[in-house]
Structure 1
Amino acid sequence: QRTAQRLHRAATAFRSVSGGLRGSFQLELPHNDQDAARVFDRAADQVCVRCRQRERCWQEGYQSTRTALTDALPPILQRGEGVREDFPQWFVQQCPQFDKFLGCVNGEILSLRQRRRYDSQVRESRAAVCAQYGQLAQVLDQAAQEVSWEPEIDLRRQRLVKQYLGVLGLEGRCTVYCDPLEHLHLEIEGVGMERLGQPAELERLGSLMGCALRAECAGEGRVHLVQREPLVAVVGAAAQDREGRGVSGDLGAWFRDESGQLNVLLCDGMGSGAEAQADSNWAMGLLEKFLRAGLPPEGAFKTVGEALALRGEEEGGFTTLDLLRVDLYTGRSGVYKLGAAPTYVRRSGRVERLCGATLPAGLGSGAPDVFHRALIAGDCVVMVSDGITEGGGDGWLCQALEGFDGASPRALAQEILSKSGARLGQGDDRTVLVLKLAARKE
């Protein structure tokens, strides 16, 4: 309980830091002189101050000069540079150093854009720092809840396990409970208890408990059994790097976390080759760590996106993020996307195309497109990198998925990759991940 309280206090502290910084950052930035109207004043300070006609332009004809410059400013700002045609003909003819003046104006326009870009980056970096503190507070709160959580013992089932251990001639300590997701757990310690992790004993105990069991972990004199997921996923993959590169910027992976969620990830780094691969590796590693730590997918995506934006401030760079998350206990699923290519879901023989509209991680806000679906045994999901269709038609891919017999996800992934290559060649990295859900055999 003391540990949970300390974690809650730490979370409150970090949340206060986030709120305090956000309040301070909402104040105006230090004066950066982004006034576009001063572009001409600065140019005049460099050129007109030494001109013999400065009094005629800036005193006797001040109003005419100011009107000419004011009218020229909008097209200059829109284009990003000034040209002779932006100014009245009389002004061009009257100014003896017009070309030099125009050059100074364009130099000031460039400086103005750089100052504005700098301010924008400062604001984005400050917002990212605040968000990171907020995410850290959320993780600490979640950890505190897990530490303080006390399982409700299933006394009836626990009594049955103890009776069964007596029949086997085993003595020890056992605890039977359900976790917050209502999944059954058996923690048993004592001499010889590791034998309970064997298939035959798992089957007998499962029959006694009323649900199938699997060994989460086992060692000498102890075993931890958990309710087995009724669904099993088979994942097949196929990939091809861009011709002549030898290294792919695409990266796919999948893992099951402690809560029975299967996570299938696909990242596509900007461009191709070693630099794109490094971006994908970094983004994939961060995302997997956050998901394994229990951070919700939306929070994990936002944190990774902000980290990529900060990392790429100097050199640029971005990565698409694509996540399929399937609860193997219930079939409830979510697809999360940042700039990723469409995902194709076949349910009851019909193919649905899930297409996001967000920018890749490192470019946008980091909030992903989210699609929730309920999947059952027999359903299939196809995830691809953008090189598979390159923004063109994907009817052929939908037909391949509709005709899939379910025998080999890997074979379907290879078929899609081959058909893509025949259509588009090897001008980009290409990756296909195919997931098929099936009922676990008893």
Structure 2
Amino acid sequence: MGKIQGSFVEPIQERKMVDAKFFFYSLLESMKNHLETLFIKRGLLLFIFGFMLGRAFILSVLSPFSLPFFAAAYFIRKDKSPQIFIGIVAGALTISLGNAVYAFMIISLFLVGHKLVNRFVRNQTTLIPILVFLSILIGRLSWHYVETQDITIYHALMTTVEAGLAFVLTLIFLQSIPLLSLSKRRQALKTEELVCLIILIASMMTGAMGWMIEGIAVSHILARYLVLIFAFTAGATVGSTVGVVTGLIFGLADINSFPEMSLLAFAGLLGGLLKDGKKIGAGFGLVVSTLLLGLYGNGTTSILTSLYESFFALILFMLTPVFYTNKIAKHIPGTTEYSAEQQAYIRKIRDATARRVEQFSSIFQALAMSFRKQENHERSDPEAEIDYFFANVTAKTCQTCFKKEKCWALNNYNKTYDAMKGIMLELEEENALSKRTIRNLEHICTRSGKVIDTIQNELHYHHANKKLKQQISESRKLVAEQLYGVSKVMASFANEIQRERENLEKQEDQLFDALQSFGIEVDHIEIYSLEQGNVDIDITIPYCGGMGQCEKLIAPLLSDILHEQVTVYKEECASHEHDYCYATFRSAKRFVVDTGVAFAAKNGGFVSGDSYTMIEIGAGKYALAISDGMGNGERAYLESKETLNLLKKILQSGIDEEVAIKSINSILSLRTTDEVYATLDLAIVDLQDAKSKFIKVGSTPSFIKRGDQVIKVQASNLPIGIIQEFEVDVVSEQLKAGDLLIMMSDGIFEGPRHIENIDLWLKRKILELQTDDPQAVADIIMEEVIRSSDGYIDDDMTVLVAKIKHNNPKWKPIPAISLRKGA
């Protein structure tokens, strides 16, 4: 019983712990949201900045901070300007009543001036700094005159300096205030924006000048805390920059604070360098900086007081939630958090794009199915069409005849129907009627002449309507096939988008170290894929002087390290010694194809009706094709060339070969009413395993020469464009290294005269070949065919020869292990 009870108690305790953790995290999230609402949305943060800047002075005389901050906030966050106004006046009031009155006066001058000139100036960005300059210039001179009843050159000079500083600070604060609402910001901080933000924060901290707790300056604590935050989040560069800028502003506010700049700059540098040690490392950098600079004397501050200030800054830093430091780091380029944020954003965009592409793919697939269903639904019944045909005929003849009831009575219905159907079929087949058929109709029908004429007329419309329906049907099928093909391509594209680049930093470092250890200087390595047979690596190297080290050294080394043949896919050499070379390395294909072609036009003409192409269609496939247009000359050439152009574009788009052939057939059969067609002989070779597909549409057989054996490849497909609907017959063959693939047009296959068995003759000629060079083979076959025809060229001739070879790179892999041992 106790065991059973214990088994129930443990899950309950675990559930309570989970509930407690959930409650704690929910409480923290709620507090964070409330704080953000209070400080950001309700303007408490801007009020605090206004309060502190109302207290900020330079050399205890000039106050150029408050009005620029109010003016920038009035321009950007006008709804929060009342809080800032109250904060500035309240901050100035803590100094003296006169300062509060002066702050109120210059802000009022600015608002009045803005109201007056706002109607005449459209560019507010230019207007605001000028108004600030004039408001301080007029306000300070007026204040001096009221106080002393005189304005000296010293007063005028100092007032001009204060107004000039206010002008510059306005431009800075205009960029800084939007950055205070980081919760709504998505883009990264620019260098100028970061410096402006630091100037704003440091200016605000000068408002704490004079606040002392047992001899410890609050302003120094805040300054060191600020340096720690940025050194920890952004590193040594930004940390030292924050230290220098903050120390400089503190020095301008109080000449005795100038030595603080060296401590802050050194603390930012050291803390940034030690940031990998987390908060403890950054804090240790501040303590070391305080001790080192304290030993050499740090102005009027004793080393013990400075340590206390650093200690309190360190406590504030340790109490700062990691959430806020990470939030700051996300907006500073170069940080890990920023990279993670960018990756997350890119991943989100990628997934959204993939989803949209998948949606489009499903839409195209649904449209294709809709067209197919519509085609199946509207596929006509021949008997129904005949009934509809005779309904039109009888409506024009029998409906007005007085013997209608007799002819179409139950006992005469079949006899009348068969007689009219016989006339229709005879007219369709022979386009004329026999006397016997006419006499048979005359025995049945008193208006036989009119019936025959009506059938002839309706037959003309029937044929036209039938042809139109057939064209519409073929158009629907073409659209359906194209939509289906596009759907498959888009689905494949969506899958490629979703393949996220693998995190291969460790492998990149290993390759970098390996190449460096062999004495090859490498600047950067970017690995996109290490998949077997699909290696993709980009390498940046310094200027090599055109020595070809990518092909001769780096590719062989990579081949040994990755255990597969790697070659230079693309290379961009540097133009001068201070530039960099860029090279892309890819997996070498196991096979390569060498080609040769020979062609001749009919009767030795200049324009041949045959066309050919050899293209790489991606994914490691190589296509060879010959097209023979109907007839000869320019018309046939245009027909065959158009066929190959369509084939090339469709194959390169990624659409399946069979769909491509059907699409081309539909396009060529629909685009013209002339009876023109073209043959197509297509071979697609996979360069990884040498498997080949042969699609022959009205073309002659091809031959494969393998040693002492000749293999014939043929298929039974009608030429393209001759009928609207046909099925593509695909023949597959496994090719081997050393094979010769010989493709030819009908001019070659049917060219030899007085030869009964062309197949045997061509096989014998191919076996007698003493060379395996593709171009030589093409020339020899062309010459043999022309000689066998007594020198006559009765038709356009084209022979295309391809040799399958193993891909043997120029440079063998360099054994990496032996090099290391030798080193």
Among 717, 728, 733, the residue aligned to 1:358:
717
Distance 1:76 1:41, change over 3 A: farther
Aligned equivalents of 1:130, 1:176: Cα separation in 2? 37
Letter in 2 for 1:326: V
Does the alignment pair 1:434 with 2:801?
Answer: yes
Letter in 2 for 1:246: F
CA contact (8 A) 2:629 2:677 kept: yes
Aligned equivalents of 1:26, 1:370: Cα separation in 2? 26
Aligned to 2:661: 301
Q: How does 1:95-244 map to 2 (within 5 A)?
A: 102-150=452-500, 153=504, 159-165=510-516, 167-175=519-527, 177-179=529-531, 182-192=533-543, 196-219=549-572, 220=574, 221-243=581-603
Letter in 2 for 1:211: E
> Radius of gyration: which is bigger?
2
- 128-137 or 404-413: which moved more? 404-413
Distance 1:105 1:82, change over 3 A: farther
CA contact (8 A) 2:600 2:796 kept: yes
Deviations 1:394-441 (A, max 9, x none): 221111222233432222222222333345543322211011122334
Q: CA deviation at 1:311?
A: 2.1
Aligned to 1:398: 763
Aligned equivalents of 1:336, 1:158: Cα separation in 2? 47
Does the alignment pair 1:315 with 2:674?
Answer: yes
- 125-134 or 410-419: which moved more? 410-419
Aligned to 1:389: 749
- 223-232 or 195-204: which moved more? 195-204
Aligned equivalents of 1:157, 1:289: Cα separation in 2? 37
Aligned to 1:337: 696
The normalised TM-score by structure 1 is 0.85
Aligned equivalents of 1:397, 1:321: Cα separation in 2? 20
Q: Over the residues paired in the alignment, what is the CA RMSD in angstroms?
A: 3.5
Letter in 2 for 1:346: K
Aligned equivalents of 2:388, 2:527: Cα separation in 1? 75
Aligned equivalents of 2:604, 2:405: Cα separation in 1? 66
Letter in 2 for 1:268: D
Deviations 1:278-323 (A, max 9, x none): 22222211211222233332232233233223323x3343222222
Q: CA deviation at 1:95?
A: 7.5
Aligned to 1:369: 729
Deviations 1:173-230 (A, max 9, x none): 3316335x73322222354489553445433443444333322112253211112223
Among 779, 784, 806, the residue aligned to 1:414:
779
Among 346, 357, 369, the residue aligned to 1:19:
369
Aligned equivalents of 1:353, 1:422: Cα separation in 2? 23
Distance 1:47 1:291, change over 3 A: closer
Q: What SS does structure 2 have at the residue aligned with 1:119?
A: helix
Aligned equivalents of 2:356, 2:634: Cα separation in 1? 44
- 203-212 or 41-50: which moved more? 41-50
Q: CA deviation at 1:154?
A: 9.7
Q: What SS does structure 2 have at the residue aligned with 1:309?
A: helix
Q: Which runs of no fewer than 5 residues in structure 2 stay unpaired? A: 1-349, 575-580, 752-756, 810-823
CA contact (8 A) 1:43 1:108 kept: yes
Q: How does 1:54-69 map to 2 (within 5 A)?
A: 55=402, 58=404, 67=415
Aligned equivalents of 1:55, 1:419: Cα separation in 2? 78
Q: What SS does structure 1 have at the residue aligned with 2:602?
A: coil
Aligned equivalents of 1:158, 1:333: Cα separation in 2? 40
CA contact (8 A) 1:341 1:385 kept: yes
Report how many aligned residue pairs link the two structures.
Answer: 436
Q: CA deviation at 1:168?
A: 1.5
Q: CA deviation at 1:164?
A: 0.7
Aligned equivalents of 1:94, 1:71: Cα separation in 2? 9
CA contact (8 A) 1:215 1:225 kept: yes
Aligned to 2:246: none
Q: CA deviation at 1:104?
A: 4.1
Deviations 1:317-370 (A, max 9, x none): 322222212222322222122222211122343212111112223335464221
Q: CA deviation at 1:78?
A: 5.7
Aligned equivalents of 1:365, 1:339: Cα separation in 2? 14
Letter in 2 for 1:417: M
Distance 1:81 1:329, change over 3 A: same
Q: CA deviation at 1:83?
A: 0.9
Deviations 1:6-33 (A, max 9, x none): 2112111222222233334444389999
Distance 1:90 1:65, change over 3 A: farther
Q: Which runs of no fewer than 5 residues in structure 1 stay unpaired? A: none
Aligned to 1:290: 650
Q: If each structure's helix is expressed as a fraction of its own residues, which one has the higher value?
A: 2
Aligned equivalents of 2:440, 2:674: Cα separation in 1? 45
Letter in 1 for 2:429: R
Letter in 1 for 2:563: G
Aligned equivalents of 2:683, 2:549: Cα separation in 1? 34
Letter in 2 for 1:330: D
Aligned to 2:190: none
Distance 1:203 1:366, change over 3 A: farther
Q: If each structure's strand is expressed as a fraction of its own residues, which one has the higher value?
A: 1
**Greater relative contact order (CA < 8 Å, ≥ 6 in sequence):** 1
CA contact (8 A) 1:76 1:86 kept: no
Q: What SS does structure 2 have at the residue aligned with 1:135?
A: helix
CA contact (8 A) 1:80 1:109 kept: no
Q: What SS does structure 1 have at the residue aligned with 2:603?
A: coil
Letter in 2 for 1:315: D
Q: CA deviation at 1:134?
A: 1.2
Letter in 2 for 1:360: P
Aligned to 1:87: 437
Aligned to 1:10: 360
CA contact (8 A) 2:590 2:806 kept: yes
Letter in 1 for 2:720: A
CA contact (8 A) 2:419 2:441 kept: no
Distance 1:71 1:161, change over 3 A: farther
Distance 1:28 1:261, change over 3 A: closer
Q: CA deviation at 1:141?
A: 1.0
Aligned equivalents of 1:196, 1:6: Cα separation in 2? 44
